[in-house]
Amino acid sequence: MAKWNKYPHEQKSIILSADALKKNWDALHKGDLEPMPKDANLREAWSQFHAGNFAEAAAAGEGATVAIKATSIYATHLEKKDAAKVKLFQEAMAMAEALQSTEPKNPNAHYQFAYAAGRYSQLISVMKALKDGYGSRIKVALETTLKLQPKHADAHTAMGAYHAEIIDKVGAMIGKLTYGANRDAAVEHYKQALKLNPQSPIAHIEYANGLLMLFGDKGTDEATKLYEKAAKMKGRDAMEVLDVELANSELEDE
């Protein structure tokens, strides 16, 4: 593993102890509904993840959901080089596919593939990713996630983004006919995600991004309100702190 950049913040709410992890588990995993593992090593890996020690989490949780998520979240927020990001997302996709083969009924094996593939697609360009077949693979992975766990808030957010990205890149008609993308479905998935996990910064950010892709200038006012709400949140762990920073950067760019 190449040397990963360190999480850049000191935070009082760092979750490292077993007791703190247990106490905060349900809130921390309201988005992905990951069950708390029985294995002590995996619990330690999750503690490292929530504290922002993503390299340690990936190493300690090798092959498990925590390693995949740590790799993708690190690549999304802290890796600076695009070439390295591409490699990390490819690694995350490969790990997720391996987990799907051993745990086909694990919703997060499918969701983590979709997440990594979605970020990978944005990085290499959505149009190229669609030509390479990632659109259908992401959709199938998210549909499988939601079939296995209908209350998976993060998957609803990602499904909303799938519809919005497709429509933004190829238009509503081609998007609907070729990829099954639909504006109403996008909004419904975003709203469901917020209903299931109302304190999630990224759910607000992605909904805002989606409104801008789906409705252009007409979506600006509502999108700004969503960014502002996310920017005022207190991240419950390192990942959410980074998401709150992202919301603030979106507001600065407006």
pLDDT tens track for 94-110:
999 999 999 999 999 99
- Helix (H) or strand (E) segment spanning residue 217: none
If you compute the radius of gyration of the chain from its CA atoms, what whole number of angstroms results? Answer: 17
Q: In whole angstroms, what is the distance from residue 155 CA to residue 159 CA? A: 6
Q: Residues 7-61: pLDDT tens digits?
A: 998 755 556 788 889 999 999 999 999 999 999 999 999 999 999 999 999 999 9
Answer yes or no: are the C-beta atoms of 57 and 43 closer than 8 Å: no
**Contact assessment for residue 211 and residue 205, using Cβ atoms and an 8 Å cutoff:** no
Dihedral sign for Cα 111, 113, 118, 119, please: positive
Residue 252's H or E segment, with its range, is helix 238-253
With 70 as the cut, is the pLDDT of residue 121 above it? yes
Q: Work out the widest C-alpha separation in the chain, in whole angstroms.
A: 52
**pLDDT (0 to 100) of residue 252:** 86
Per-residue pLDDT of 66-104, as tens digits, reads 999 999 999 999 999 999 999 999 999 999 999 999 999
CA distance 75 to 95: 15
Q: What is the pLDDT of residue 11?
A: 58
Task: Express each pLDDT in 210-245 by its tens digit.
Answer: 999 999 999 999 999 999 999 999 899 999 999 999
Listed residue (182, 156, 160, 158) closest to 171, CA to CA? 182
**What is the per-residue pLDDT across 148-202, written as a single tens digit (0 to 9) for each?**
999 999 999 999 999 999 999 999 999 898 898 999 999 999 999 999 999 999 9
Q: CA geometry: angle at 163 spanning 188 and 122, to 5°?
A: 130
Mean pLDDT for the chain overall: 94
Task: Pick the closest to residue 243 from 253, 254, 232 (CA basis).
Answer: 232
